[in-house]
Structure 1
Amino acid sequence: MTEIAGRMRAMARQAKSAATVLRALESGTKNAVLRELAALLREKQAQIQQENALDLEAGARKGLSQAMLARLELSDRVMAEMVQGLHEVADMADPLGEIGDMQRRPSGILVGRMRVPLGVILMIYESRPNVTIDSAALCLKSGNAVILRGGSEALRSNLALAAVSHEALSRHQLDPDLVQVVPTTERSAIDALLEQEDCIDLVIPRGGEGLLRAVTAKSRIPVLKHYRGVCHAFVDESADIDAALRVVVSAKVQRPSACNALEGLLVHRNIAQEFLPGAAEALHREQVRLLGCERSQTLSPHIEAAAETDWGREFLDLAMTVRVVQDMDEALAWIERYGSRHTESILTGSYANARRFLREVDASAVMVNASTRFNDGGQFGLGLEIGISTSKLHAYGPMGLNELTTRKFVVLGNGEIRA
């Protein structure tokens, strides 16, 4: 066993040992830790941002894109959002111990299901260091220990945030190993962690397609994927032009680096001539690069030819594809081929078409006359999220507190025996 493999094995064992304490921890203690962490983030904001500045400088030297640097930055706004998120999680009801679906069986026993933690969660993610705090908060409240492996570009930021988390835990006599950040950028560390199936219960990768495929191929542990956000909006022939234009522009430009930002626009041929010229002009004013099919190019000078590799691409920037489709059938087939099961939206005035779109589109969230940007734990009332699952087993869509738990059967009897 190499030195790094040995260190990762030790981290996994420490996390498993620490997690046993959380099963019996009172909600009040967990909430106090979360509020303590929020206070420490405010108190130590300057030091944290100094470390983040070093990551940003190194990232700029390495040639990271503006979108990547935006994800990496712990601005005053992002810091405030982390603090607010911690308070929101502290205010939420504790899901653990809840017993539901109780029913009396003919034998006399009462059978129900109790919500319990998953155990130890391994988060593998890129860029966004705020994920470190969000994940720590959700895992602590849901009774899980967490091992966090961020990208090399955010190592200083993540270690600074981990140190603050450890201080909050220690102040309440809790094991700092409940929240661990992998202190090395060596890729072999991930490989070693993915072999710890006896200690780690779930792996959640968040990042590019290469990361997800590598983790899925190597892991001995169940993987819950936060896959690419290739999100489409289909402008149906019955759409309200002004409302559709407002939704499309906002879904693309409000935060283009987000995984729920719009990446592909599909327009019904019967409304294309009326809708696309104005939409392309509005998007062009927002500096959005439009890559389209031949038909769309004839309707606006702002639309250039798309390459085959552009379809189904997650741009995470001010760029998107445009395609004129024959009808709903072609739109559904296009989404099935190029979507990523993240978020899809239809803009329509037809109840029948809206219902069909909701039934037939396979995505973690399907919108009718609304922006794809709404696929978010906070917007859905879940509070913070640990990611948006594009897998179907265990969780599908934003993962909040409940999605970080499972349910075990409990049986209440009075001396019954099986006949």
Structure 2
Amino acid sequence: MRRRLINSTLAVVLVVIAVFGVSLVIVETRTIGNSAQESVDSEALRLISVVESRLLEDERITSVLLSQQIESKRYALVEIPGRSPIEIGKRPTGSVISSTVEGERGERVTVKESRSAVTREVGRTLMIIGAVALLAIISAVLLAVRQANKLTSPLTDLAETAERLGSGDPRPRHKRYGVPELDRVADVLDASAERIARMLTAERRLAADASHQLRTPLTALSMRIEEISVTDDPDTVKEEANIALTQVERLTDVVERLLTNARDPRTGSAVVFDLDEVVKQQVEEWRPAYRSAGRAIVHSGKQGLRAIGTPGAVAQVLAALIENSLMHGGGTVALRTRVTGNQAVIEVTDEGPGVPPDLGARIFERTISGRNSTGIGLAVARDLAEADGGRLELLQQQPAVFALFLSRVARKRQEPERPVR
């Protein structure tokens, strides 16, 4: 394309130079020839006037006197009746420019000039025109190269950007070129790069969330299946199978929730549910893991609370908090339910060292972790809570107290607050 732009620009310039150059040469040649002829005619008239004035006054006419009236490069012949012809200068040969004038008494003056002088003048003019044309061609080439570079370089950059997008590098370049059409293409490519980057981020986030969120249910399900495989008691097999089926349902709910959040994190499926049931189910599910670690998990606080949210999402939030306490906390983990205003609150605390002071509110950011963990669990938990209109907060750093706030549905009668273990 670069060569085409240069060739097309140069072709246009050459055509313009050819048209106007030839016309200028023709005009200049005629102008120089006419000017030389007028000059010879003028000298012939001047000589005839001098001769006539001398004849009227009976003065002597000599070649020395007449030679002062014409240019040295020209030849003049003065013919006076009854006298010898007077020649001035050297008679030219070849093609000449000539002018003859006759006086009232029969005298005749002829002035001649070699056409070579005109030819030399035309040659000088052609050289000047040629030099100007050459300068115009050089300027046109430089301008064509500059314009070609101005147009092809952006196209090369845009092609590289498109190639990077195709190879999975969605970084926008935000580079503009001062050409509206090319800048429009650059805008579209940058917008596409940003969309691709968001899509890739969402896919990676979904993969990380799925890996993190599915790990606990799969581990629990694996443990139930192992219990079934090592027992011969039909009642135990039935009980463990029922628990495994419940966990499979929870696992299905987790997958659906992850896919829903991947499509639109703001989309929730909140319903009115029994908060005690979700809390009890989590305590029962995590009790074996805490028993294996030599620790305990307890539940206390207000009973009979009904809240608005997605049971599966609330279970996942509590599972993330309980797992976080198991990994990073210490001592007994306590789940406490209480009421504040029109909200039901579930607090999860332990007796461990708590959240490091340098983390603080950043504990909910992705990849932020006080230990060698992924830093995804609390971030996913907050997203799940906010999707149903709730919120997850760190109320206290040492010891760590996390609180899940949910909209509450008022009970018909008050029940006393009692601990449950």
TM value normalised by structure 2:
0.19
TM-score scaled by structure 1?
0.19
Q: Which has the higher helix share?
A: 2
Bigger Cα Rg: 2
Give the number of the structure with larger relative contact order, counting CA–CA contacts within 8 Å between residues 6 or more apart.
Answer: 1
